[in-house]
Amino acid sequence: MQILSFLGFTALVAIISYLATRKTDEDSSDGYFLGGRSLTGVVIAGSLLLTNLSTEQIVGLNGSAFKEGILVMAWETLAAIAMVVTAVFLLPRYLTGGITTVPQFLEKRYDKMTKTITSGLFLSGYVVVLLPIVLYSGALAINSMFNVPELLDVSKGTALWITVWGIGIIGSIYAIFGGLKAVAVSDTINAIGLLIGGLLIPVFGLLAIGDGSITEGISTLMKTNPEKFKVMGGEESSIPFGTIFTGMMLVQLFYRGTNQAIIQRALGAKNLKEGQKGLLLASAIKILGPLIVVLPGIIAFHMFGNTLDNPDEAYPMLVTKVLPTALVGFFAAVLFGAILSSFNSALNSSVTLFGIDIYKSHIKEDASEKEVVFAGKSFGVFLAILSMCIAPLIAHAPDGLFGYLQEVNGCYSIPILTIIVVGYLTKYVPAFAAKIAIISGVVLYSLSQFVIKPFIVGAENYPHFLHVMAILFVLNVVIMLIIGKVMPREKAFNLQFTNQVDITPWKYLKPVGILICVIVISTYLIFR
């Protein structure tokens, strides 16, 4: 029954995605990479949510909540504010310039080499960190829920390889051969399922704790584990409260506003109004995120205590314990969709970055749009295979997979955010300054976190990595401004309107954005 419901829902998503996208022109860059610039607010919101909400999020963040409690919700709630900032400040500029990739703006603002270096940073981050971790954490969840090693009568290691390649091949079909619209439509359907299924886990968990009463379950959970409901983390926690005002917001702005895998959905909007509506709808739903990615971890702690060796096993164990057997297959299908979403979204963005920013810029400048799309697809196949080979090797990754992912991402997130922010806010800072900031950001952060911290100072005496990000962000901004003052570009940069889409803003942008920010701040006041 579980396997039938799993296969049934998965097949339904694939059929609907095919029917919705079969008429899309995938031989053109806009058609393949941006869904023909036809995405509506609801589709953008669904895809934004599911691109981000995958197993490294659901499994990893619930594992962190299992250890530390509600304070880890900062990764979700502050994302809502970052999406508001993106809708107000960045998206209008992106759509005005008519860009397909974020690095394309960097070519217009700085030069071609800056664009290429940034694309290379994105691609290296995807293939070494994001894609393998999504595959690994997804395989871990599926293997736990279906007990795949026993089902196939193989070892855990073999089962991991089988599941990783299964997820990778199916995700590749969506991303490489379906283009952005296929990814976005499948994401939207899966997002609905994930919201329903994700909310069922804490509901059934609270019912189990409260002997059939949700309110009694909440009361018992809060009285028994009061330390898990303190949102302000101390210096020894994974998110000290001070980091919310330093590196945390920078990470969120990078991820929601400049990361190609995320912002590509909004770049495919039919107009600015739909793009802003999509971002704000996703932002509003994101406020409910802790119910799916934090509360189950606390419930799992109440049920299992400190009996688990690996906190990242808490969520799959809770699902199999509290969810009725008839629903396990459906939820596994939804979770499978979330896994595919993060994988195929990052892969689709990688294909876009390679085709537009590397192949057409450096390999064959006179390539037709069909050739660019084909080159991107070919690169996607190579990248997918490489990621599937790396993923099972993460089996011995440290506990706290989510925090580890965020720390490693700092190698490229802060340098890219720096040059984009300075690029939009200044007119005379030259391309040389951007290159220096990228090199400085990557080298200094890598030295700080992977040489000085472990081998020289010691992790216990070292500033939190989010504080380090903020320090390096300010340092690199100052470096760029000094270079801009000493050797400014000859001609001021002016953003040209390309008339790709209508850029009339949504009339409710400001009041809805303010309301979302007020709700997030109120959450911190309630659980302080």
Residue at token pair 């939009």? 424
Q: What is the amino acid identity at position 66?
A: F
Q: Which domain holds residue 106?
A: 2-22+34-406+505-526
Q: Is residue 490 part of a domain?
A: no
pLDDT value of residue 396: 64
The DSSP line for 320-355 is HHHS-HHHHHHHHHHHHHHHHHHHHHHHHHHHHIII
Name the burial class of residue 215, with classes exposed (0-12), middle (13-18) and buried (19+) by CB atoms within 10 angstroms of its CB. exposed
Q: Is residue 151 part of a domain?
A: yes
C-alpha closest to that of 475 among 392, 522, 414: 414
Joined tokens for residue 263? 């912002």
Contact 261, 345 (CB under 8 A): yes
Q: Is residue 177 part of a domain?
A: yes
Alpha carbon of 86 to those of 8, 80, 224, 273, 509: distances in Å? 37, 10, 40, 13, 11
Cα distance between residue 382 and residue 255, in whole Å: 25
Contact 286, 76 (CB under 8 A): yes
Report the Cα–Cα distance between both ends of the chain, in Å, rounded. Answer: 45
pLDDT value of residue 233: 81
> Residues for the chain: how many in total?
528
Contact 467, 246 (CB under 8 A): yes
Q: Is residue 29 part of a domain?
A: no
Contact 282, 83 (CB under 8 A): yes
Q: Is residue 421 part of a domain?
A: no
Contact 207, 217 (CB under 8 A): yes
What CATH number does the domain containing 255 carry? Answer: 1.20.1730.10
pLDDT value of residue 309: 73
Helices 247-257 & 260-267 angle (0-180, nearest 10): 50
Buried (b) or exposed (e) across 155-166, using 16+ Cβ within 10 A? Answer: eeeebbbbbbbb
C-alpha closest to that of 376 among 176, 102, 240, 171: 176
pLDDT value of residue 390: 83
Give the residues across from 233 on adjacent strands: 240
Joined tokens for residue 148? 């795949």
Q: Which H, E and C letters describe 276-313, residue by residue?
A: HHHHHHHHHHHCCHHHHHCHHHHHHHHHHCCCCCCHHH
Mean pLDDT, consecutive 10-residue stretches, the chain (528 aa), reads 58 59 49 56 78 73 90 90 93 85 85 88 80 82 81 87 87 60 61 79 94 93 91 83 90 87 79 92 89 93 83 84 81 75 72 80 81 81 86 64 71 91 93 95 92 83 90 96 94 83 90 95 87
Q: How many domains does the chain have?
A: 1
Contact 29, 356 (CB under 8 A): yes
Largest CA distance in the chain: 72
pLDDT value of residue 31: 47
Q: Is residue 447 part of a domain?
A: no
pLDDT value of residue 507: 92
Joined tokens for residue 481? 């401004």
The whole-model pTM stands at 0.80
pLDDT value of residue 213: 93
What count of other Cβ atoms lies within 10 Å of the Cβ of residue 305? Answer: 8
The dihedral region occupied by 506, where left means phi > 0, alpha psi between -120 and 50, and beta the remainder, is: beta
C-alpha closest to that of 465 among 484, 446, 483: 446
Q: Is residue 438 part of a domain?
A: no
Q: Is residue 488 part of a domain?
A: no
Helices 431-447 & 401-425 angle (0-180, nearest 10): 160
Contact 181, 21 (CB under 8 A): yes
Contact 502, 272 (CB under 8 A): yes
Contact 413, 254 (CB under 8 A): yes
Residue at token pair 């396997």? 3
Residue at token pair 């290379």? 120
